[in-house]
Amino acid sequence: GESVGLHLPTLSVQEGDNSIINCAYSNSASDYFIWYKQESGKGPQFIIDIRSNMDKRQGQRVTVLLNKTVKHLSLQIAATQPGDSAVYFCAETYNTDKLIFGTGTRLQVFP
Amino acid sequence: SAVISQKPSRDICQRGTSLTIQCQVDSQVTMMFWYRQQPGQSLTLIATANQGSEATYESGFVIDKFPISRPNLTFSTLTVSNMSPEDSSIYLCSVHRDYEQYFGPGTRLTVT
């Protein structure tokens, strides 16, 4: 069957390199942003979030950057591993519960 | 965290028929959300389901096509009615808990 991410933009990186996945969001009033990882056959899984009063937030091997001026969000993954291969979605919200998802990027990690 | 299960995990249905998808959460939640993910696409919110009231549908989705039930705080169903091939998608339920949104594994529907 057709997998998630078949028609999505693809980023190919070598194992060990850093990955940067970009997202343009739509609503200047959005105040909370989330990155999700979706592996084939599974639902999206929370990676990291950031609120609009911040411009950077770091987690374990991941960093999210927010540029409200140009409505741009990025996800940086350090030392990318094969297990990072998945489709990544950004999501925005302006009322806490209802999420609006971006188009998604497929990350392929090769040895 | 929240543990969410969906039934069925996948199905192949004939056009004109209906399919009801079940979503079960491991503990009580106020709101449950239903999303659609068309092949190779992102997720689109169909509706928000509150217990004890009618679901709230997003633009482009109507109750006659996607009736939703929410009989209690841990369970919801989404029915895809009078299916056509354009309804072939992954349907996911989701809940909000502890400032995070959790998703079920999805139901992969193929309409022939």
Nearest to A43 among B45, B92, B100 (CB): B92
Q: Which tens digits make up the pLDDT trace of B84-105?
A: 999 999 999 999 887 788 999 9
Is residue A26 predicted with pLDDT exceeding 90?
Answer: no
Q: What is the mean pLDDT of residues A86-107?
A: 89
Q: What distance in Å separates residue A86's CA from the closest CA in chain B?
A: 13
| Among A101, A103, A105, A106, the residue to mutate for chain B (most B Cβ within 10 A) | A101
Q: pLDDT value at position A55?
A: 97
Q: pLDDT value at position A7?
A: 63
Quote the CA–CA distance of A17 and B13 in Å, as a whole number. 44
Q: pLDDT value at position B89?
A: 97
Q: Which tens digits make up the pLDDT trace of B21-65?
A: 999 999 999 899 999 999 888 999 999 998 888 899 999 999 999
Helix, coil or strand: residue B87: helix
CA A73 to centroid of chain Cα atoms: 8
